[in-house]
Amino acid sequence: MRQMRTTKKYNFKGILVLNMLLLFVFTACAQPTNNTKGNNMKYNELTPEEQRVILYKGTERPFTGELLNNKEKGTYVCRQCDTPLYRSEDKFESHCGWPSFDDEIKGAVKRVPDADGRRIEIVCANCGGHLGHVFEGERFTEKNTRHCVNSISMKFIPAETEKKTSTTETAYFASGCFWGTEYHFMKANGVRATSVGYMGGHVQNPSYREVCSGNTGHVETTEILFDTSKTSFEEMIKLYYETHDFTQVGGQGPDIGSQYQSVIFYVNDEQKAIAEKYIKILTDRGFKVATELRSAANHEFWEAEDYHQQYYDKKNGTPYCHVYRKLF
């Protein structure tokens, strides 16, 4: 009898230890996702319920979210960091119980496979906050995609309010292979979203293969959306010149061809003036600046194929010809 009691006591301790280990693993796995731009950004304070969903990947109850039936025109932004995520024109009724979108603002949403491999999680590309899950093949819309998003993960900015309070500005930079250009800008303070594509050519919606032929006139370009309340176009220009060889003509490092030319596509006269200011600063220092200035108004930005977007982030790598060096 004594031996049996001893055995039961031993098993109880083993189970207790095992449960403690499992609890530790679960807690470790449930820690907030690290944001993709470092820890130098200030985020909005979250309520306990918002933390449960955004930081610890919870789900709000279906048909309870405040944005489920919202039909106003405007933009849905991340509740934690205010990054624009979705436009109202991409929202549709799926009757699933959560807000549904068939497209996101380019570069704003990151897809991450769930640990069990059964679903694809979507998180804010800027802060890593949990949004929900994405599903394909359901044929709700022509895009055949449904971003199923928790209302509590977002805030809605009406179109009229956006016009009055918008702090988002766009910049277009070409500095060789767009993988490397985007790598540095997507990590910069104040940058809300980035995407890579083609600009400056004469072919509509060109493919990577067509651009690589050198016959379309396009250059590999990175589109950057940045928050003017946190940074400036001047800071973007500095980073641009500090991350590529702006003296090289017809290429960048080992990448040779007109599609790798150093080009700034300015969106307004202020951007043009700032670009000219820094070209003069560098010229006065003795550099032969090869950067071309072109108006973005005369050249449409065509987004590149999905596998090019946030390339080094997906591959866990670093650029081979874009190395940071402090100049300013």
What pairing do the DSSP bridges indicate for beta strands 262-266 and 292-295?
parallel
Cβ-contact 109, 122 below 8 angstroms: yes
Distance CA 195, CA 266 (A): 16
Distance CA 165, CA 84 (A): 13
Cβ-contact 139, 190 below 8 angstroms: no
Distance CA 206, CA 108 (A): 23
DSSP H helical segments within 257-298, as ranges?
269-284
Distance CA 151, CA 70 (A): 10
77 φ/ψ sector (left φ>0, alpha ψ -120 to 50, else beta): beta
Q: Which residues are catalytic?
A: 148, 177
Distance CA 224, CA 222 (A): 6
Helix (H, G, I), strand (E, B) or coil at 188: coil
